[in-house]
Each structure stands twice: as C-alpha cells, then as structure tokens.
Copies of this chain bind each other. A is one copy, B any other.
Amino acid sequence: MGHRAVPEHTHPDDVPVQVALAALADPVRLQLVRELAGAGDWERSCGTFDVPVGKAALSHHFAVLRSAGLLEQRDQGRGRVNRLRRTEFEARFPGLLALVLREEGAGT
C-alpha cells in the first residue's frame, strides 16, 4: 500500500530548542532515536522498531521527530525508511543527542 503523502520535514536549523527538548522528552521517541543511532542511515524501516505503541501512535511519534529536525524519512518500495539527522542536529544543538544517547535504557 505505501504511504499516502511524502512526509514533511523540518531542518534542525529551523527548530526552536524547546521543540527539540519536547521531542526527546518522551520514552517512545527516545527509544526510536536510540535505535536509529545504532543503525546506519536508511537502514531501518518503520515497522522494525521495538516500541510498545500502535501504528497511529508510531506515526505521530515519527511526525514529532521529523518536526524537531531529528528524523528524515523516505519511501522505498512499499515501505518507508529512516535516517537520524545526527550531523545536522548536532550542529544545531551541540551535545544534546550525546546526552540522550549516553543513557541507554536509563530514560525512565
């Protein structure tokens, strides 16, 4: 089936710090970011994340991460693949990703 529309993205340079913090202040999104950080660019498709939420909620979390400049997505075949915008997010918010990634599993 694929997805209905090309996802909207926000570049980290256009993200207020408050939006970035709110995106990361959620256990599901932290988990998504951590899994993405452990994978290569475009390696993970949307259905492969180990998070305890349904499809609609997952779709919402992806949208929040895109609007915070953390996630890039593109359609590939019948699915959608993901990339953590590590370099450009780091340039905008130096050290922030490192802070959340260093505490693997300690986010709750």
Contacts and interface: CB of A to CB of B under 8 A. Distances in A.
Interface residues of A, number: 20
B108 A16 contact: yes
Contact of A103 (B17, B22, B94, B107): B17
Nearest to A22: B25
Interface string A65-101: 0000000000000000000000000000111100110
A101 B94 CA distance: 13
Given A16-B106, A16-B108, A95-B94, A100 B27 contact: no
A26 interface: yes
Given A22-B25, A25-B22, A25-B25, A17 B95 contact: no
